[in-house]
Every structure is written in structure tokens, then in C-alpha cells.
Structure 1
Amino acid sequence: METTIMAITIDPRTAHAPQVQTVLTKHGCIITTRLGLHETSEKSCSERGLILLHINSESNEVEQLENELTEIEGVNVKSMTL
């Protein structure tokens, strides 16, 4: 097993977040920690979202997750293995 940190950007967040959520739920058993971030203020809520994942899994499972996420329009993925 490897430890992977994955960063996912979603833009526009409100349009593509449901598809991203479906993929993350499908692969939920390999995700140890998930942190979702987006900028907010009294007057606006950012359309660019950022999700950070801590994953413990074999590299082929991480690759499958990354491939499914990048198939979604507006989603970019970067990851590093520790």
C-alpha cells in the first residue's frame, strides 16, 4: 500500500460537483481523509472548488480514481505518492 495526496480542482464547482461526488463515493473505501475548500464572503461564493484527499491504496486503484475524475469536464487532478 502507498500513501497518496491528491488535489482536485473543480471549475465551475456547482456544475460538476455532483459528478465528482459520485466518483468519490464509488472509491470511498480508499479515501482516508477528504477536505473540501472554496472561497466565500458575504457577497459571493467561489465557483472554483478544491478537494484534498489522503488515500491509502495500491497505485492501480489511485490511477483508476484519477482517470475517472479527469473524465469530468472542469476537473483537474494532481497527486503525489509519499
Structure 2
Amino acid sequence: MAEKLPIKTVMAILVENRRETAEKVQKILTAWGCLIKTRLGLHDGVLDNCSDAGLIVLELVGSPQQHKELCDKLNKLPGVKADYMELSFDEE
């Protein structure tokens, strides 16, 4: 019998105004840090031409309720849009 693959939860966080919003987003992510297995931050720009918008991608652990609570907290911040999805292989 093949081993059942776990459900993976991925969250994407779009940040509109990084200079004003990043600290608030970071505070929330730090408070919920035990749920975050992997974190990747992306933004356009290099050196003096740094973009003011950014994207954060998280791989989460924990319960679906915890994922929803984290998403809801992030979405309360102005200039932040967060959403998440669960990925798994269908059993045959």
C-alpha cells in the first residue's frame, strides 16, 4: 500500500505599500511563526529601483482553522490581500 501524501497549505500575501505595511505584516507573521514552515518574499526592483509592492508565499502547518485566522488577520490590514489553498493528490 502506498504512503498517503499529506495535504499542503500554501498562502499568498500581496502587499501594496511595503514601506508602510511591512512592519505590521511582519508583526503578524512573527506572532503566528509556529505555523510557517517555509517563507518566500518577492518584489520587483534592484538597489535604487526597489518596488513598493511585494508578494509573500508561505507553506503552512497547523489546522485549517489556524490558517483561516491568520488569513483573516492579514486581510484586516489596509493594502494587504491574503488568500490560501490546500493542495493534495486525489486518492485513486
Same fold, TM-score > 0.5, yes or no: yes
Can you list the C-alpha shifts for 1:13-52, whole angstroms capped at 9, x where unaligned?
1110000000000100010000001111354100001000
Cross-structure match for 2:75: 70
CA displacement at 1:79 relative to structure 2: 1.2
CA displacement at 1:3 relative to structure 2: 2.4
Q: Which has the higher contact order (CA 8 A, sep 6+)?
A: 1
For 1:45, the aligned partner's letter is C
Q: SS at the partner of 2:61?
A: strand
CA RMSD of aligned residues (A): 1.4
Which range moved further: 7-16 or 34-43? 34-43
Counterpart Cα distance in 1 of 2:11 and 2:46: 26
Counterpart Cα distance in 1 of 2:62 and 2:7: 6
Counterpart Cα distance in 2 of 1:3 and 1:23: 21
Question: How do residues 1-82 of structure 1 correspond to structure 2 at under 5 angstroms?
Answer: 2-82=7-87
Deviation above 4 Å: which 4+ runs of structure 1?
A: none
5+ unaligned residues in a row in structure 2: which ranges?
1-5, 88-92
User: Percent of aligned positions with the same letter in both sequences?
Assistant: 38
Q: TM-score, normalised by structure 1?
A: 0.93
5+ unaligned residues in a row in structure 1: which ranges?
none
For 1:65, the aligned partner's letter is L
Q: TM-score, normalised by structure 2?
A: 0.83
For 1:76, the aligned partner's letter is K
Q: Cα–Cα, structure 1 residues 55 and 43, in superposed 2: closer, same or farther, change >3 Å?
A: same
